[in-house]
Amino acid sequence: GAGVSQSPSNKVTEKGKDVELRCDPISGHTALYWYRQSLGQGLEFLIYFQGNSAPDKSGLPSDRFSAERTGGSVSTLTIQRTQQEDSAVYLCATSGLNYGYTFGSGTRLTVV
């Protein structure tokens, strides 16, 4: 597609429920990144994909967080047993050969 697409744009969930966040990258972008941004804060790295593999998962906050990417395209970030501290905007970014990131519009997650 023309840009990075994320869905849903907003998600309100009850504490303890699982959520799935989706990222559709720009066609041909092999690198995909997930970041988290709490209100008024900076960009917290979560995980990096090159193709379907994730050589860097160092930013995942706990084992409740996981992500996968299939066909070198769509990626899904899953948060199990959500907690209130998981509330944030989750941003996906993809990159081609010129290194620059293109960010999606993000998913605003609210855990109540």
Partner 1 sequence: GENVEQHPSTLSVQEGDSAVIKCTYSDSASNYFPWYKQELGKRPQLIIDIRSNVGEKKDQRIAVTLNKTAKHFSLHITETQPEDSAVYFCAALLSNDYKLSFGAGTTVTVRA
Interaction site with partner 1 (CB under 8 A):
31, 33, 42-43, 45, 48, 50, 55-56, 91, 99-106
- The residue among 9 and 78 lying less far from partner 1, judged by its C-beta, is 9
Question: Min. distance of Cβ 104 from partner 1 in angstroms?
Answer: 6
* Minimum distance, C-beta of residue 105 to partner 1, in the bound complex (Å): 5
CB nearer partner 1, residue 19 or residue 32: 32
CB closer to partner 1, 3 vs 16: 3
Q: What are phi and psi of 86, to 5 degrees?
A: -80, -10
Cα 90 to the chain's mean position, in Å? Answer: 5
Q: List, in order, residues 6 or more apart from 39 with CB less than 8 Å away.
A: 88
16 versus 55: smaller Cβ distance to partner 1: 55
CA-CA-CA-CA dihedral for 8, 4, 26, 48, to nearest 10:
-80
Q: How far is the CB of 83 from partner 1 (least distance, A)?
A: 24
Number of Cβ within 10 Å of residue 1's Cβ equals 8
